[in-house]
């Protein structure tokens, strides 16, 4: 690979992030005939988060078979290489200049490289919310970490950060952390959840039962103790009851948040609900030459979902280079209302094509209907029952003709037939 020895380079598309979304979009762009497509990643190995998810299932959507995360990451990487994608690993993008042309400044051990790109795709992914940002009380000893770090201990370094952790959260990733704990020989002493029921589907909660890990709902962690390493935590129930549990670690799982400092630094408009850049239905950010794909847009989706979405985003980038995308001007905005945590894309423009779905998340359990309103009128009522952290989709086609801003909210009453439009205002 010639790039790092060049002090500057010029490419058709620069993809930032070599996870499932980044690799998928780059591979697709090469197959569509772009001459020079570069994927840059700050890690020394491509593949992103799946590299350290030793568990299945990955790859059903992409390769039609069940793979572990590392095997899946290798296949995505091999596919990109075979398609002619240039991988710049161990390279960190430190700035994006949105002048003409777009220029990304990258650093590696070999020095600084400036890459002029016709288009950029941000695929920087997500991470979990750490203990500090959750404002959890107590000492700050060693042994408090997120699932991503635990996986890296287990699958990349073959080390154990603890033996008897308390696991905080009941998202899908929380369950995967149980498997990772098993892998390193750790026996979680409890899994706790602030809500009165699991965040993920109740069905999946058979796993902690199977592994003999007690699950405590309506429970918060209110103190962490330990001078050097975690020694104990205090758990507080909704009823005000407290109990001290001895443990040697605390694992904070889930509460994903996009890793978007680069998007912020580039001056892109950021959605405070997702924490990632805002986009239109063609995945164009507020700087229309910069696109975004994957979990940087929507915490959090599966690798397979991000992969498929990124393939589509590659199509939009290619169409844009051909001059075939509609103008990004005069977009209408999509905003979350009652019961809706976020809506992606955040705006739509007039014109055919684009992502087929609007993706939403509920703030909690919902049972009733997803209602889309514009100018006081109900555009669409979609009956549904859902919960937090579940994929909720609305067909984009239903809103193509809208000519003013749309608010999505949940109407928790079951009878949705012909109610007043008062809730729509």
Partner 1 sequence: MSIADVAIVGAGVVGCAMARRFALEGAKVVLLERGADLLSGASKANSAILHTGFDAPPGSVELSCMQAGYAEYQAIRESFNLPLLETGAMVVAWSDAEKAALDGIEAQARANGIHDVRRLTASEIRAREPQLSHRALEALLVPGEHVIDPWSPFLAYLLQAKSHGAEIRFATEVISGGFDGDIWTLQTSTGEQRARTVINCAGLFGDRLDARLLGTASFQIRPRKGQFVVFDKAAAALLRTIVLPVPSERTKGVVLTRTAFGNLLVGPTAEEQQDRERATVVDDTLRGLIARAVEMIPALADAGVTAVYAGLRPATEEKHYRISAHPDRNWITVGGIRSTGMTASLGIAQHIYKLYEEMGHRHVPVAAPATPRVPNLAEHEPRDWQSAGYGEIVCHCEMVTLREIEQALSGPLAPGNFGGLRRRTRCGMGRCQGFYCNARLAQLTAGHFASPLAVGDAA
Binding site for partner 1 (CB under 8 A): 42, 44, 90, 92, 94, 107, 109-112, 127-128, 130-133, 135-140, 142, 145-146, 148-150, 152-154, 156-163, 183-186, 222-223, 227-229, 248, 257, 259, 261, 264-265, 272
Measuring CA to CA, which residue among 294, 346, 358, 281 is closest to residue 320?
Answer: 281
CA distance 292 to 205: 33
Residues ≥6 apart with Cβ < 8 Å to 359? 298, 301, 343, 344, 391, 392, 393
Give the three-state DSSP class for 54: coil
User: CA-CA-CA-CA torsion for 77, 148, 123, 335, nearest 10 degrees?
Assistant: 150
Nearer to partner 1, 107 or 382 (CB): 107
In the complex, least distance from residue 156 CB atom to partner 1, rounded to whole angstroms: 6
In this structure, what are the phi and psi dihedrals at residue 263, rounded to the nearest 5 degrees? -60, -40
Nearer to partner 1, 225 or 357 (CB): 225
In the complex, least distance from residue 92 CB atom to partner 1, rounded to whole angstroms: 6
CA distance 362 to 376: 21
Measuring CA to CA, which residue among 292, 293, 313, 314 is closest to residue 303?
Answer: 293
Burial (CB < 10 A; 0-12, 13-18, 19+), residue 31, is middle
In the complex, least distance from residue 47 CB atom to partner 1, rounded to whole angstroms: 14
Q: And the tokens for 331?
A: 């977009």
Give the three-state DSSP class for 153: helix
Nearer to partner 1, 255 or 312 (CB): 255
How many CB atoms are located within 10 Å of the residue 63 CB? 16
Nearer to partner 1, 147 or 200 (CB): 147
In the complex, least distance from residue 166 CB atom to partner 1, rounded to whole angstroms: 15
In the complex, least distance from residue 148 CB atom to partner 1, rounded to whole angstroms: 5
Nearer to partner 1, 151 or 359 (CB): 151
Nearer to partner 1, 157 or 243 (CB): 157
In the complex, least distance from residue 44 CB atom to partner 1, rounded to whole angstroms: 6
CA distances 369 to 180, 201, 362, 373, Å, are: 37, 19, 11, 12
Residues ≥6 apart with Cβ < 8 Å to 126? 256, 257, 258, 259, 295, 296, 299, 300
In the complex, least distance from residue 194 CB atom to partner 1, rounded to whole angstroms: 13
In the complex, least distance from residue 117 CB atom to partner 1, rounded to whole angstroms: 21
Nearer to partner 1, 66 or 112 (CB): 112
Nearer to partner 1, 272 or 418 (CB): 272
């Amino acid at each position: 690979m010639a790039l790092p020895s060049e002090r500057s380079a010029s490419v058709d598309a620069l993809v930032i992030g070599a996870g499932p979304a980044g690799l998928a979009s780059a591979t697709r762009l090469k197959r569509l005939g772009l001459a020079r497509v570069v994927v840059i990643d700050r890690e020394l190995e491509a593949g992103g988060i799946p590299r350290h998810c030793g568990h299945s299932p990955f790859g059903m959507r992409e390769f039609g078979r069940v793979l572990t995360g590392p095997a899946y990451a290798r296949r995505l990487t091999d596919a990109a290489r075979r398609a002619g994608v240039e991988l710049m690993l161990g390279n960190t993008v430190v700035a994006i200049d949105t002048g003409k042309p777009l220029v990304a400044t990258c650093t590696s051990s070999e020095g600084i490289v400036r890459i002029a790109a016709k288009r950029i795709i941000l695929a920087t992914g997500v991470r979990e919310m750490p203990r500090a940002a959750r404002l959890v009380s107590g000492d700050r000893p060693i042994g408090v970490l997120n699932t991503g770090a635990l996986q890296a201990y287990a699958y990349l370094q073959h080390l154990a950060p603890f033996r008897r952790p308390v696991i905080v959260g009941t998202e899908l990733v929380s369950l995967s952390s149980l498997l990772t704990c098993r892998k390193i020989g750790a026996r979680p002493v409890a899994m706790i959840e602030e809500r009165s029921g699991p965040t993920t589907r109740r069905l999946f909660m058979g796993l902690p039962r199977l592994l003999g890990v007690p699950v405590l709902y309506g429970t918060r962690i209110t103190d962490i103790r330990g001078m050097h390493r975690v020694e104990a935590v205090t758990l507080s129930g909704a009823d005000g009851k407290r109990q001290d549990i001895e443990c040697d670690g605390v694992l904070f799982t889930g509460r994903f948040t996009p890793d978007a400092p680069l998007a912020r630094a580039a001056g892109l408009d950021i959605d405070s609900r997702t924490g990632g850049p805002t986009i239109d239905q063609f995945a164009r950010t507020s700087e229309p030459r910069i696109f975004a794909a994957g979990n940087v847009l929507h915490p959090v989706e599966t690798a397979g979902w991000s992969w498929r979405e990124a393939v589509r985003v590659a199509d939009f980038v290619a169409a844009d280079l051909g001059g075939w995308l509609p103008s990004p001007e005069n977009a209408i905005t999509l905003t979350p209302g009652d019961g809706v945590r976020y809506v992606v894309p955040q705006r739509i423009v007039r014109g055919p094509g684009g992502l087929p779905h609007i993706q939403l998340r509920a703030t909690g359990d919902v049972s009733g209907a997803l209602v889309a309103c514009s100018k006081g009128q109900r555009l669409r009522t979609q009956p549904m029952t859902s919960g937090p952290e579940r994929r909720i989709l609305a067909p984009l086609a239903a809103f193509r003709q809208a000519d003013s801003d749309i608010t999505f909210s949940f109407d928790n009453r079951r009878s949705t037939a012909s109610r007043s439009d008062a809730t729509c205002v």
